[in-house]
Amino acid sequence: MNLAAAANETLAHNSNVLVYSAMAIYTLAFVAHMAEWVFGSRSKVGRTAAALTPNATASAPATVTARQSGGTAVLERPKVITKSAAGSRDVPDGPGAAGGTEKGDLYGRIAISLTVLAWALHVGGVVTRALSVQRAPWGNMYEFSTTFAAVATGIYLLLLVLGKNVRWIGLPLVTTVLLDLGLAVSVLYTASDQLVPALHSYWLWIHVSCAILSGAVLYLGAVATLLFLFRDRHEAKLADPAGKQPGAFAASVLERLPSAASLDKFAYRVNATVFPLWTFTIIAGAIWAEAAWGRYWGWDPKEVWSFITWVAYACYLHARATAGWKGRKAAWLGLIAFACYLFNYYGVNIFVTGLHSYAGV
């Protein structure tokens, strides 16, 4: 490859057009997701309250009833109950963003369809950016941000294809993607160009791609963790009849989310699954540093904060294995760990000078 080759301006322009087009479709998806939540049924508000009554049980037997026409026996399955992280409440998962209504579900399907279309345009923008300079499309903060958002959206859509109950992630995900792309095109934008010599290595494909994939999965875990805190507090209010009860609007929204226990379990599983990849990311960076600068570790700010992030998530996973650190305590630790990841990206790249200062801003 000719490292001094000029960027293909036509492809670079097409990449920008595709990214802006994706943002427009993401905006429509955001509106559709909002409609999904607004038009979702409010008749489900009493589900958690009923589950928290003394008569609620996690082992309710199935019953057999007969239809009025024909007398056919029908098995009525009990609601799925999940034990909370604190072990004090057994509550059912909510019905999802649409709340089970036909109108809400219609808007939800439209939102997902628009998200798929926006993601396809988004990926096209990332690929054409790479083709414009014949290299990996994550050599600066603009490229990293656009690729990160595409990967996070792709993982969400993959989970949907696999039949996972993750439609509740749609609204916060699309909102975050719009913020990420808006910041990328307005503040972080860098013209398509070749890289500094230190970045011309196959480790760019390995190390940075692992960092992007790890961050995208950690982001989904952070969303679930944040929603867990709201849902757990909501369930705690319902479990205490003498205390202050949640408002109708808050209840109508939170009732549609999975139970606090399910959100907590989802966050833990995705964080635990991707932690080895984040570990490999740091190791790969050290190997690349030795090849580029002649040492594996030099206490560069990016290296230090990558390790701090690793330690924070290691503490979170260890805390989850300790009985006294489940639930809200572990959740706060998980959010602190993801905040370290964000600072490692934005704070270190923009405000700190080091060998990894390739932000391009």
pLDDT digits (tens, 9 = 90+) for 309-349: 999 999 999 988 876 677 888 999 999 999 999 999 998 88
Is the predicted pLDDT of residue 205 greater than 60, yes or no?
A: yes
Phi, psi dihedral angles at 83 (to 5 degrees): -70, 135
Specify which residues 74 forms β-bridges with: 65
Residue type, 175: T
pLDDT of residue 1: 43
Query: Residue 83 in contact with residue 90, Cβ under 8 Å?
Result: yes
Query: Residue 112 in contact with residue 170, Cβ under 8 Å?
Result: yes
Radius of gyration of the chain (CA): 23
Domain boundaries, the chain: 9-48+92-351
Q: How far apart are the first and last CA of the chain?
A: 26
What element of type H or E holds 185? helix 170-186
* Rounded Cα distance, 234 and 245, in Å: 8
User: What pTM does this model have?
Assistant: 0.83
* Rounded Cα distance, 145 and 184, in Å: 6
Phi, psi dihedral angles at 282 (to 5 degrees): -65, -40
- What are the strands, taking DSSP E only, across the chain? 63-66, 73-76, 81-83, 90-92
* Rounded Cα distance, 219 and 216, in Å: 5
User: Which is more confidently placed, 97 or 3?
Assistant: 97
* Rounded Cα distance, 335 and 49, in Å: 28
What are the helix and strand counts (H, E) for the chain?
A: 12, 4
Cα distances from 171 to residues 108, 221, 357, in angstroms, run 10, 15, 33
Model confidence at 14, pLDDT cuts 50, 70, 90, reads very high
Helix, strand and coil in the chain, % to nearest 5 = 65, 5, 30
Specify which residues 64 forms β-bridges with: 75
* Averaged pLDDT of the chain: 82
Query: Residue 228 in contact with residue 261, Cβ under 8 Å?
Result: no
Residue type, 2: N
DSSP state, residue 86? T
What is the percent of the chain where pLDDT is above 90? 49
User: Which is more confidently placed, 10 or 60?
Assistant: 10
Looking up tokens 């209010």 gives: 237
Is the predicted pLDDT of residue 11 greater than 60, yes or no?
A: yes
Model pLDDT for residues 41-57, shown as the tens digit of each residue:
554 444 444 454 444 44
pLDDT of residue 72: 42
Phi, psi dihedral angles at 13 (to 5 degrees): -65, -45
Query: Residue 106 in contact with residue 314, Cβ under 8 Å?
Result: no
Chain center to CA of 38? 22
* Rounded Cα distance, 332 and 342, in Å: 15
